[in-house]
Amino acid sequence: MARESESGLPIEPVYGPDALAGWDPARILGDPGAYPFTRGVHPTMYTGRPWTMRQYAGFGTAAESNARYRDLIAHGTTGLSVAFDLPTQMGHDSDAPLAHGEVGKVGVAIDSVEDMRVLFGGIPLGEVSTSMTINAPAALLLLMYQLVAEEQGIGADRLTGTVQNDVLKEYIARGTYIFPPRPSLRLTADIFRYCRAEIPKWNTISISGYHMAEAGASPAQEIAFTLADGVEYVRTAVAAGMDVDDFAPRLSFFFVARTTILEEVAKFRAARRIWARVMREEFGAKNPRSWTLRFHTQTAGVQLTAQQPELNLVRVAVQAMAAVLGGTQSLHTNAFDEAIALPTDRSARLALRTQQVLAHETDLTATVDPFAGSYAVERMTDDLEGAAVALMTRVEDLGGAVAAIERGVQKGEIERNAYRIARETEAGERVVVGVNRFRVDEEEPYEPLRVDPAIEARQCARLAELRARRDRRAVDSALTALKRAAEGEDNVLYPMKEALRARATVGEVCDALRHTWGTHVPNDTF
């Protein structure tokens, strides 16, 4: 009897040659590093060097996070990935009423360029690749990073990294939006233009399906809605007068890796193939690098359990294998205790060691795309591609990603799938080891990492001291220039950088844009 995949597609007990009837390997597969990139974006993939081991970290104050980064670098991390607290993600200062109780809780609190200087103190920004998980205020954090690099004497042309900058998925699945979709897309296009001129090696966006998956999206929904967002971003940039080949090579993506290894491998391969075709055929990109879907992967936080948390070590290892077998460019492995609290130093180190074992003690790096030609994986890749393209076509028929977001379409589809998963879990049809099967009578005690609640008071004191000694006239003048640019068509990043240099805060800069562009009110009808 056939099983169904996470996307609701059939998985046959046995696959044979008939599964690929009429299949043309030369057309559909190609070679690694060649169109349509089913087999990977580089000819040698991990046989040349392993993926980037990029650990996501950030909590409490900038000083505490800086200590964690130094520890991760000392233990072999090859890329930093910054988590920001909710007030920062929402464009509020730590002393704002809405920030109370959330300062430093799910990431590091950054209120001004001075916090950013502390965050990266002693870390040579010209040598480390940094990814910043920030969306609505992405431009602010990128500019702060550039200002800190300038203080270190490092030119912007040497900076490498990624700013997530994917606000469309916030309206779909996550909720940390500030401005309405259309001015948010204008801000995205301004970031594209600014980085092309000022920070040429920077990846200007990481178009994210991860958060959709964490909200309940199936693999087919994850890649369909993510790639549809990508199409919207490309159209926005082209409509703003940019040539597609000027910015498309710097686009990157961000996906989840679940425990369902075969479907996840098929998902990554299908996503590469779809994106290559869209970029070459729909947008007419000429540069082969514009056709490549490069992506970061994070193991599935939603699949981690607070019950018997040591089991998460196994889950994370399996998920990481799926990402590697699927050809990811960089990987973050979750710590086993993340379903309970922020990771401890020990659990974060164990998560990194998981990647190092896969890279150095297995043969996963010995050959490129080891599943190529597999009856099962190739058929699942084709099936996932078909399901994802059908969803993308539905979004397109509604007028594109923004029009569909405004009607609540993607959000509704994901929520319905999440409800299905919850019902199956509660009924015991979907086994979650340690939760609804193979439980223990009494859990072993575990002491999680806790964020000091006094952090908020200290951060507020830093803000008060900053405001007291800065030049208020310079701040006000810079914020006025920012509002003027936002009202017109000038690139807002240039006056925004001057406002931050004058020590305007995250909240003040975002308030200036709120005053001009307004805020988003979601449509929850679907």
Q: Which amino acid is at 478?
A: A
Is residue 433 scored above 60 in pLDDT?
A: yes
Contact 221, 412 (CB under 8 A): no
Reported pTM: 0.91
pLDDT of 45 > 80? The answer is yes
DSSP for 463-520 reads: HHHHHHHS-HHHHHHHHHHHHHHHHSSS-THHHHHHHHHTT--HHHHHHHHHHHH---
The secondary structure of residue 459, as a DSSP letter, is H
Burial of residue 361, with CB atoms counted within 10 A of its CB: 0-12 exposed, 13-18 middle, 19 or more buried = exposed
C-alpha distances out from residue 322 to 32, 91, 261, 365, 422, Å: 18, 35, 5, 13, 23
Can you tell me the distance from the alpha carbon of 224 to that of 267, in angstroms, rounded to the nearest whole number?
A: 10
Compute the average pLDDT of residues 464-493: 97
Model pLDDT, residue 42: 97
Q: Which residues contact 392 (CB under 8 A, 6 or more apart)?
A: 224, 227, 228, 231, 274
Instruction: List pLDDT tens digits, range 188-216.
Output: 999 999 999 999 999 999 999 999 999 99
CA distance linking residue 370 with residue 456, whole number of Å: 50
Containing 70, the helix (H) or strand (E) segment is helix 62-74
> How far apart are the C-alpha atoms of 421 and 288, rounded to whole Å?
39
Q: How confident is the model at residue 23, as a pLDDT?
A: 81
Please list the residues that pair with 162 across neighbouring strands.
131, 203
Altogether, the residues listed in the chain come to a count of: 526
Average confidence score pLDDT of the chain: 94
Q: Is the pLDDT of residue 244 over 80?
A: yes
Rg (CA), the chain: 23
Give all strands of the β-sheet with 52-57 in edge-to-edge order.
202-203, 160-163, 129-133, 79-83, 52-57, 330-332, 295-299, 251-257, 205-208
Sign of the alpha-carbon dihedral angle for 332, 54, 218, 86 = positive
Question: Is 30-426 a domain of CATH 3.20.20.240?
Answer: yes
**What angle, rounded to 10 degrees, do the helices at 493-501 and 506-517 form?**
150
SS3 content of the chain, % helix, strand, coil (to 5): 50, 10, 40
Q: Which residues make beta-bridge pairs with 160?
A: 129
Q: Pick from 198, 209, 333: which is nearest to 274 by CA?
A: 209
Rounded to whole angstroms, the Cα distance separating 305 from 405 reads 31
> Are 58 and 64 in contact, with CB atoms under 8 Å apart?
no
Specify whether the CB–CB gap between 59 and 459 falls below 8 A: no
- Tens of pLDDT, residue by residue over 126-166, are 988 999 999 999 999 999 999 999 999 999 999 999 999 99
Tell whether the model's pLDDT for residue 397 goes beyond 50: yes
Q: Give pLDDT, residue 524.
A: 60
- In this prediction, residue 27 carries a pLDDT of 72
pLDDT digits (tens, 9 = 90+) for 442-452: 887 877 777 78
Q: Which residues of 312-322 are buried (b: 16+ CB within 10 A; e: fewer)?
A: bbebbbbbbbb
Name the pLDDT band for 368 (thresholds 50, 70, 90).
very high
Residue-level pLDDT at 29: 86
Question: Residues of the chain with pLDDT > 70: what percent?
Answer: 99
- Tens digits of residue pLDDT in 69-114: 898 888 887 778 899 999 999 999 999 999 999 999 889 999 999 9
Helix (H) or strand (E) holding 182: helix 181-198
pLDDT recorded at residue 526: 41
* Whether residue 1 has pLDDT greater than 70: no
Tokens representing 272 are 């590469």
Q: What is the pLDDT of residue 248?
A: 95
Contact (CB, 8 A) for 109 and 62:
yes
**Tokens 């990811």 found at:** 328
Q: What is the mean pLDDT of residues 460-468?
A: 96
| Site of tokens 């920062």 | 88
**Residue ranges per structural domain of the chain:** 30-426, 472-517
Q: State how far the alpha carbon of 272 is from the alpha carbons of 37, 244, 328, in Å.
A: 6, 18, 11
User: How far is 140 from 161, CA to CA, in rounded Å?
Assistant: 15
